[in-house]
Amino acid sequence: MRKVFASAGAAAAFFASTAPLLAQADPWQTRFQPAATDMMRQIAWFELYTLWFIVPITLLVLALLAYCIWKFRESANPTPSRTSHNTLIEVIWTIGPVIILLFIAIPSFQLLTAQYTPPEEAKLTLKATGNQWNWDYEYQLEEPLSFNSALLPDADRATAGKEDRAAYPRLLAVDNEVVVPVNTTVRVLVTASDVMHAFAMPAFGVKTDAVPGRINEIWFKAEKEGLYYGQCSELCGKDHAFMPIAIRVVTEEQYNTWLTAAKADLPGANRALMAAIDGANKVASAGN
């Protein structure tokens, strides 16, 4: 089964290579956001895998119900059957579901184990604290870096250089994004300062509750540079819908440069990073 996961992940990685460097919720979206981690690809595979069981079972039950309604209607059967049991049918509907559940349970347990078992020791630890209605982030380094991230007001877009609604969408753009290096295992310690929140990043395949007085641990390893959006996923008060999460994945060099500058001037470091990324994108586009 692990080989199946690996093959599916490799195939998904090939097709994901053409995905945009931006993951966010889209209007009328019916599928997952583009996967940015191997874990998310496994989750997407498992969802499709379970549909091969769910859809036929649903259609079978629907067909059986329709048949019974038609076959055993009162006009066709004025005297109903008095059959109390049927051994063969009872054996089939007992053993059949057990087998199906085994086919679902084994890869499910493997996926659950993988979600709580990082492939390597985390190189970066980040603490995320949910507040009503923003996030505090702390990079747990020798010289810690802390800042607050909140919804970006429309009036501040020009000052922040985030007027592009496609890259910085309404209700998802924040004033200060979390910045992490690509292909690096990141541990996230999640908690809350007031009420329950939830830290969710769909493209990474991570989601956990932020509970006051408790620390929950998750991890991710982003494989593609870009800007990724999530949201608080636990009803936490009147501004629950205005509590986005934004993570920018950059190269190791860009991350180190940003980190050094951010300790002295976070807004300036963010603007410099955005300028470096925009410049690199323009060069890449011109080269193509």
Three-state SS at 40: helix
- Confidence class of residue 286 from pLDDT cuts 50, 70 and 90? very low
| CATH code for position 254 | 2.60.40.420
- Confidence class of residue 26 from pLDDT cuts 50, 70 and 90? confident
What ranges in 22-164 are assigned the alpha helix state H?
A: 38-71, 87-115, 157-160
Are residues 269 and 196 part of one domain?
yes
Which distant-in-sequence residues (6+ apart) come within 8 Å of 216 by Cβ?
189, 190, 191, 208, 209, 210
Are residues 154 and 268 part of one domain?
yes
Q: What is the DSSP code (8-state) at residue 220?
A: E
Q: Which of 62, 97, 115 is the last residue of a domain?
A: 115
Are residues 167 and 111 part of one domain?
no
- Confidence class of residue 280 from pLDDT cuts 50, 70 and 90? low
- Structure tokens, 33: 């956001």
pLDDT of 27 > 70? The answer is yes
Are residues 35 and 92 part of one domain?
yes
Are residues 186 and 165 part of one domain?
yes
Q: What CA–CA distance (Å, rounded) separates 33 from 21?
A: 11
pLDDT of 221 > 80? The answer is yes
Are residues 277 and 159 part of one domain?
yes
What ranges in 79-218 are assigned the alpha helix state H?
A: 87-115, 157-160
Residue 42 buriedness (CB in 10 A; 0-12 / 13-18 / 19+): buried
Counting other chains too, the contacts that 259-262 makes at CB distance below 8 Å and 24 or more residues apart are 259/139, 259/141, 259/145, 259/179, 262/145, 262/147, 262/179
Average pLDDT for the chain: 88
Q: What CA–CA distance (Å, rounded) separates 55 from 58?
A: 5
Residue 24: the pLDDT is 82
Q: Which of 65, 96, 115 is the last residue of a domain?
A: 115
Which distant-in-sequence residues (6+ apart) come within 8 Å of 17 by Cβ?
none
Are residues 99 and 31 part of one domain?
yes
pLDDT of 8 > 60? The answer is no
pLDDT of 218 > 90? The answer is yes
- Structure tokens, 126: 């980040």
H or E, element range at 178:
strand 178-181
Q: What CA–CA distance (Å, rounded) separates 42 from 31?
A: 15
Q: Are 234 and 197 in contact (CB under 8 A)?
A: yes
Residue in the block written with tokens 């994108």? 281
Mean pLDDT for the stretch of residues 112-138: 94
H or E, element range at 7:
helix 2-16
- Confidence class of residue 282 from pLDDT cuts 50, 70 and 90? low
Q: What CA–CA distance (Å, rounded) separates 159 from 27?
A: 27
Q: Which amino acid is at 170?
A: R
Are residues 161 and 100 part of one domain?
no
Residue of 77 and 187 predicted with greater confidence = 187
| CATH code for position 97 | 1.10.287.90
Residue 21: the pLDDT is 59
pLDDT of 141 > 50? The answer is yes
Three-state SS at 70: helix
The structural domain count of the chain equals 2
Are residues 130 and 272 part of one domain?
yes
Are residues 137 and 21 part of one domain?
no
Are residues 266 and 161 part of one domain?
yes
Q: What CA–CA distance (Å, rounded) separates 245 from 230?
A: 5
Question: Mind listing the pLDDT tens digit for each residue in 106-120?
Answer: 999 999 999 999 989
pLDDT of 4 > 80? The answer is no
Residue 9: the pLDDT is 47
Structural domain harbouring 17? 2-76+85-115
Q: Which of 94, 115, 136 is the last residue of a domain?
A: 115
Are residues 132 and 50 part of one domain?
no
